[in-house]
Amino acid sequence: MRWVPAADWLRLPARRRRRMRRPRSRRTGRRPQPGGKLLLVYSPKGGTGCSTVAINLAIALQQVTSKKVALVDASLQFGDVAVLLDLRGNHSIAEAVAQIDTLEVDQLVALMSPHQSGIKVLPAPTSPEMAEVVTSDHLKTIIGLLRREFAYIILDTWRYLDDTILSTMEIATASW
């Protein structure tokens, strides 16, 4: 954290003040994004427990911190988080993308499925071909909105390192 005299601080433009409140990470040199933390779970091989870790991480964080936790299934073609958690919601990330230009955080939260643990889940599209409609920009917009509402956003991913996953790795607070 950098320190400046209060008088100098107040003379700084508001944007610069906000940036200085967010010190760069010593490890990565990047400034953390404002709002909730984005935690990404990735495995280069399928069937190794990626979704299991993401789900358990989300529920454990909710239980330990009592803060709002979102779980996003970014395993876009064959995401199974909703099935694994026995969720009954009708919506997925595809509906969020369909209204992305005007999407507000409340509308996004309304598309999420609540789980009995207290976490909220944004499921993957229900059919593999719908995965193509989700671009890296869409996912970044969705994550940006979720950061305003949730203290933690857990992203379950798939083994294919496409633009969507790579771009979220760049903005993640931590990746496993």
Applying CB under 6 A, which residues contact ligand ADP?
Answer: 43, 46-52
Q: Which is nearer to ligand ADP, 9 or 176 (CB)?
A: 176
Segment lying near Mg ion (by CB under 5 A), choices 36-44, 69-77, 140-148, 166-174: 69-77
Binding positions for Mg ion, 111-150, rule CB under 5 A: none
In angstroms, the Cα distances linking 26 to 15, 48, 158 are 22, 31, 29
- Which of 39, 40, 42, 51 is close enough to bind Mg ion by CB under 5 A? 51
In angstroms, what is the minimal distance from the CB of 58 to ligand ADP?
A: 13
Q: Which residues contact 123 (CB under 8 A, 6 or more apart)?
A: 73, 79, 81, 82, 87, 89, 91, 92, 93, 113
SS3 call for 2: coil
47 contact, one of ligand ADP, Mg ion, none, CB 5-8 Å limit per kind: ligand ADP
Question: Which listed option, Mg ion, ligand ADP, none, makes contact with residue 49 (CB within 5 to 8 Å by class)?
Answer: ligand ADP
What is the DSSP-derived secondary structure letter of residue 28? Answer: T
Cβ nearer to Mg ion, comparing 80 with 163: 80
Query: What is the distance in angstroms between the CA of the first residue and the CA of the last residue of the chain?
Result: 26
Backbone φ and ψ for 49, nearest 5 degrees, come out as 105, 15
Q: Which is nearer to ligand ADP, 122 or 145 (CB)?
A: 122
CA distance 10 to 120: 39
